[in-house]
Structure 1
Amino acid sequence: MNSCFVKPAVSGRLLRCVFMVALWLASFSAFGETSRPPGHYLLPETGNIVGEAYTVQVENEEDTLLDIAHAHGVGYEEIRRANPDTSLWVPGKGTQVQIPGQHILPDVERKGVVINIAELRLYYYPEVQDGETPRVETYPIGIGRDGFDTPLGITKTTMRLEDPAWYPPESVRQEAAERGDPPPDVVPPGPDNPLGQHAILLDIPGYLIHGTNQPDGIGMRASRGCIRMHPDDIKAVFEQIPNGTQINIIDEPIKLGWDADHLLYLQAFTSRNEQETSISDLLNIVNKADELPEQKRSNIDYEVMQKALKRGSGRIEPLI
């Protein structure tokens, strides 16, 4: 039985909490009550792209790149890819930080929860009332590391647990025993619990979507197969998702996007298996291009496409 195992971590710094609250208040003041939290979007009437990439400036010497990532709804690998030359722990006051806040929606049914492990991101499509504009919420996640792959396929939620206890599985016990540090039979709710304060059980034995006591690891491949979310994010999802919600776990390392102007975009990630771009991936791109008007199709930059596929950087790049 797999489980998400993390070592106990020191609680977050007071300065980080102050930074997060100040940033939220600033955003609220600037955009008013109709503004949406980072990662919450109305679905576009045309196309499949939401959000936008933008730049922010580091305001305090104490701010880390991970603080900024959390404040803007992105994870570890996303913020590192977007800012490869910026210090993770001391970016420095006044530093310009790129926020990769634009997303191509996965090419699957927009229902319930979609988890794309290739991009370490969860998409939640809440049910809406008649006449209400459909929307999506997207959050960075942590997934299984090598040897503990997060399983793919369609499943559903079965139970929600607040302040769950954690029972270390046999694989964790064996590893800990080899280190001479056997774990307790059960870890009660509290700061040492690797499940955090909220857990959503899936209809796959041993797998959960849950919080964490090590939020700096969100956006990394570090769990034993479970899906980790930042404590704030899992709380928001936990309060909305009823039992029986569909969960579609996919591995979509190449995404094609288009906007209202019928411009084509490509976003390529390195998949969990470090797989090479296959012929089917290329055919998918060509087929999408064939749907465009002739004057658009003839302007596709195939050199850009090939470089983007080779890099697998996760950057959204225009092909026209």
Structure 2
Amino acid sequence: MNPHPLQTIKQLCVSSIALGAWLFASSATADNSELPKGHFLLPEVGNMVGQVYTVTAAEDDTLLDIARIHNVGYEEIRMANPDVSLWVPGEGTEVTIPGQFILPDEERTGIVINVAELRLYYYPDVEAGEAPRVETYPIGIGRDAYNTPLGITETTMRLENPAWYPPESIRREAAERGDPAPAVVPPGADNPLGKYAILLDIPGYLIHGTNQPDGIGMRASRGCIRMHPEDIESVFWRVPVGTQVNIIDSPIKVGWDTSGKGYIQAFTATDENAYGMDTLLNVVGLIEEHEGDNTHSANYEQVREVLERANGQIVPLS
């Protein structure tokens, strides 16, 4: 939700391929099962966290209800369950939860937002002796013509119960519809910012809550990053002012688990040229470089099929 141009972005950072790092992290001192949903210890080997699992829908569940409970967004749950009704899955229906993630190939500090993935990663500071960890949350981002800006910025302010000042573009569009928008929307149930907002050092852009949580996991905002109310509340008090925020566009991710097995994942690209032949060659080359002599683990046909489907599913490299 920002009408302003992007002149103030500190550094344009577009990445079409995310090759996950396989560096060692500090040794773990706790088990992932003890952490809240979406929180993981950084792996000592590989760059993957979490797991895919299934749950059984109750009579009154929608897929969006299930997605919110299990820390995934609209597109994630829809693509993982293409044959399941969004609004009436049906009692007893098995629903796949895409709860496994390949960490972005970026510095593991502060906040990393992958707009292609519709997901935020937060690497909180830990005390000496504590195991490093990552938290990940589904997000909503800017729709066409209001793309969320890319680049490295930082948080500048935290606002509890913020008022919302509709930008001129929204007020103009509302007036054209014959439904004039107010100059200011006070805190409350009608405020689209929700109860918490974190300002970025890009004028007009925020990470904030929402009064329309069904839109999390969609490209529906005017550029701001939306989070479920409980998710923004979870991080709000723990993200210091001055935290680095790295906004990337990485529709292709390659990962390795703790055993060294390779995986590939592709999302719908915002750049229509992202999946050209050069990209295919680069991805296969990166896989083979990591695999060393085991070049049978990467083949052009398999990678091409994954890029064509671009459904966000993590696929083992055969």
Global fold match (TM > 0.5): yes
1:315 counterpart SS class:
coil
Q: 1:270 aligns with which of 268, 271, 283?
A: 268
In 1, the alpha carbon distance for the partners of 2:299 and 2:205 equals 42
User: Deviation at 1:305?
Assistant: 1.4
Q: Which amino acid aligns with 2:68?
A: H
**Map of 1:2 onto structure 2:** 2
Residues 65 and 89 of structure 1 are in contact (CA less than 8 Å); yes or no, is this contact kept in structure 2?
yes
Check 1:33–1:249 CA distance in 2 against 1; reply closer, same or farther (3 A cut).
Answer: closer
**Map of 2:16 onto structure 1:** none
Question: TM-score, normalised to structure 1's length?
Answer: 0.87
**Map of 1:155 onto structure 2:** 153
- Count of matched residue positions in the alignment of Structure 1 and Structure 2: 291
Residues 264 and 289 of structure 1 are in contact (CA less than 8 Å); yes or no, is this contact kept in structure 2?
no
In 2, the alpha carbon distance for the partners of 1:277 and 1:284 equals 10
Q: 2:219 aligns with which of 218, 221, 235?
A: 221
**Map of 2:41 onto structure 1:** 42
Q: Which amino acid aligns with 1:300?
A: A
User: Deviation at 1:91?
Assistant: 0.7
User: Deviation at 1:119?
Assistant: 0.6
Question: TM-score, normalised to structure 2's length?
Answer: 0.88
Q: Which amino acid aligns with 1:120?
A: L
Give the percent of matched residue pairs that are identical in Structure 1 and Structure 2.
65
Q: Which amino acid aligns with 2:306?
A: A
**Map of 2:25 onto structure 1:** none
> Are 2:166 and 1:168 equivalent residues in the alignment?
yes
**Map of 1:19 onto structure 2:** none
Matches within 5 A, 1:1-320: 2=2, 35-58=34-57, 60-278=58-276, 279-280=278-279, 282-294=281-293, 296-320=294-318
User: Deviation at 1:298?
Assistant: 2.4
In 1, the alpha carbon distance for the partners of 2:48 and 2:216 equals 23
> For structure 2, which runs of at least 5 residues remain unmatched after alignment?
5-30
Residues 155 and 203 of structure 1 are in contact (CA less than 8 Å); yes or no, is this contact kept in structure 2?
yes
2:65 counterpart SS class:
helix
Q: CA RMSD, aligned part only?
A: 1.8
Q: Which amino acid aligns with 2:241?
A: N
Q: Which amino acid aligns with 2:298?
A: I
In 2, the alpha carbon distance for the partners of 1:282 and 1:194 equals 43
C-alpha distance after superposition, 1:192-211 (max 9, x if no partner): 00000000000000000000
Check 1:137–1:153 CA distance in 2 against 1; reply closer, same or farther (3 A cut).
Answer: same
In 1, the alpha carbon distance for the partners of 2:274 and 2:241 equals 37
1:298 counterpart SS class:
helix
